[in-house]
Amino acid sequence: MPKGLIVYFSQGGTTARVAEAIAAGMRATEWQSTSCNMNDKQPPGLDGYDLLGIGTPTYYYHAPFKVMDYVNSLPPLKGLPTFVFVLHGTYIGDTGNDIRRLLSRKGARAAGYFHSYGADFYLPYLKEGYLFSPDHPTAEELTKAERFGREAAGRIGRQDYTGAKRDPPPAAIYRLERFLTNRQLANHIYSRLFRVDDKKCTSCGLCIEQCPTGNIVEGKKGSPTFGRKCLLCLNCEMLCPEEAIISPASWPLFRPFMIYNVRHASRDPSIEHVRVKHSQGRTQRL
Ligand SMILES: Cc1cc2nc3c(=O)[nH]c(=O)nc-3n(C[C@H](O)[C@H](O)[C@H](O)COP(=O)(O)O)c2cc1C
Ligand code: SF4
Ligand code: SF4
C-alpha cells in the first residue's frame, strides 16, 4: 500500500481540519496516510513515504517562518510527489507560491495545490472588532479538501500533471507589510520589544505553554521572558487572560496597515466577517 506523509502547522485548528480531510480522501483511494502537526511534534523523516503534503496558514502574506524552516530543511527530493495546501483568512499573498517554488528547487514533483478560507484570529483585527472568515473551513470546503486528497493520490505515477497556476502576486501595500514582518526584524528587533506588565501578570504560564516555538520562558520574577525565535503569531498576547502582554504589533507603525486591511477586507464581498469583542483572552461574537 503506498504511503503519504502530511506535515502541517496549525495553531487555531483550521489547517489541521483540512489536513484530516485530505488524509481521509487519500485513504479512500487505499493510501496509507500519516499526519503530523509540527506545532505538536517533530515531523518524521521521509524514508518509506511515496508522497509528501505540506499545509500551512498564511501569516502576513507568507508562510510562518517555522514552515519555511521545515521545507528548507528537507533533503533533495529527487522527484518525490508533493502537494501544498494553504489556509487564509483574507488574502493569501505569496504563501503557496513561496512553498511551491522552494519544493520545486528541491527537486519535488508537483502533485497538487489546494487553498481554503480559515477563521482568522489575527489579534489586531479582533481588537478592532472583526473576525474574518468565521466558520471556515466550511463543510463544503472540507468536502473539496477530501476530493483534493483523492485526486492528488490518483495523480501519482502519472506524468501529465503540469501543476496548478501560481497565485497572483500580492498588492504593493501587502508586500510592504510582508517586508515589515520579515524574519530579521522579527528576530533581532521585535522579539526584544515584547513587554509584560508585571502588575497584571499572575504567572499563570499560559503564554509559555502556548507559544509554538518555545520562545517564552519563565523569568526571575515568574513573569515571562521572550527569546529570539518569534513567529509574530501573537498567540501569547491574544490568550493572556490578564492582557499583560504588549507586542510590537500594537505600535503605531502597524496601525495604518491594520486600518487599510480591515476596511478593504470588510468591504470585499468574497470575504465573510462577523463583529466581535476581544478581551481578557477571549473572543466573543456580538
Ligand atoms: C499572525 C497571523 C497573521 C495572519 N496573516 C494573514 C494574512 O496575511 N493573510 C490571510 O489571509 N490570513 C492571515 N491570517 C489568518 C490565518 O492564515 C488563517 O486564519 C488560518 O486559517 C489559520 O490557520 P490555523 O487555524 O491552522 O492556525 C493570519 C493569522 C495570524 C494568527
Ligand atoms: S499568560 Fe499573561 S498572566 Fe499568564 S504568565 Fe503569560 S503574561 Fe502572565
Ligand atoms: S508571538 Fe508570542 S506565542 Fe507567537 S511565537 Fe512570538 S512569543 Fe511565541
Q: Give me ligand 3 centre to Cα 103, in Å.
A: 27
Nearest protein Cα to ligand 2, atom 4: 204
What does each C-alpha distance from 114 to 83, 92, 241 come to in angstroms? 8, 12, 35
Q: In this structure, which residue's CA is closest to atom 4 in ligand 3? A: 233
Ligand 1 atom at minimal distance to the Cα of residue 132? 19
What span, in angstroms and rounded, lies between the C-alpha atoms of 152 and 25? Answer: 9
Phi, psi (deg, nearest 5) at residue 131: -115, 115
Q: Which ligand is nearest to the CA of 232?
A: 3
Residue whose CA is closest, atom 8 of ligand 2?
201
Which residues neighbour 272 within 8 Å (Cβ) at sequence distance 6 or greater? 117, 132, 133, 134, 135, 136
Peptide bond into 137 cis (omega under 30): yes
Joined grid coordinates for residue 163: 501543476
CA of 11 from ligand 3 middle (Å) equals: 11
The pLDDT of residue 159 is 67
Please name the amino acid found at residue 160: D
Ligand number with the minimum distance to the CA of 239: 2
CA distances from 10 to 77, 187, 235 (A): 24, 21, 12
CA of 25: how far to CAs of 1, 4, 143, 147, in Å? Answer: 15, 11, 9, 6
pLDDT at 18 > cutoff 80: yes
What is the Å distance from ligand 3's center to 57 Cα? 15
Report the alpha-carbon distance of residue 82 to residue 114 in Å, rounded.
12
Rounded Cα–Cα distance for residues 56 and 203 (Å): 31
Nearest-angstrom CA–CA distance, 189 and 194? 10
Is residue 103 very low, low, confident or very high in pLDDT (cuts 50, 70, 90)?
Answer: very high
pLDDT digits (tens, 9 = 90+) for 235-260: 999 999 999 999 998 888 899 999 99
Ligand 3: centre distance to CA 231 (Å)? 6
Return the closest-CA partner of residue 120 out of 258, 236, 256, 14: 14
**CB 126 near ligand 2, within 6 Å:** no
Q: In whole angstroms, what is the distance from residue 77 CA to residue 52 CA? A: 10
At 273 the pLDDT is 98
Name the residue at shortest CA distance from atom 29 of ligand 1.
Answer: 122
Provide the pLDDT for residue 64: 97
The stretch 121-139 carries a mean pLDDT of 97
Phi, psi dihedral angles at 122 (to 5 degrees): -80, 120
Complete domains list, the chain, with CATH = 3-155 (3.40.50.360), 172-285 (3.30.70.20)
Ligand 2: which atom is nearest the Cα of residue 216?
6
What percent of the chain shows pLDDT beyond 90?
Answer: 89
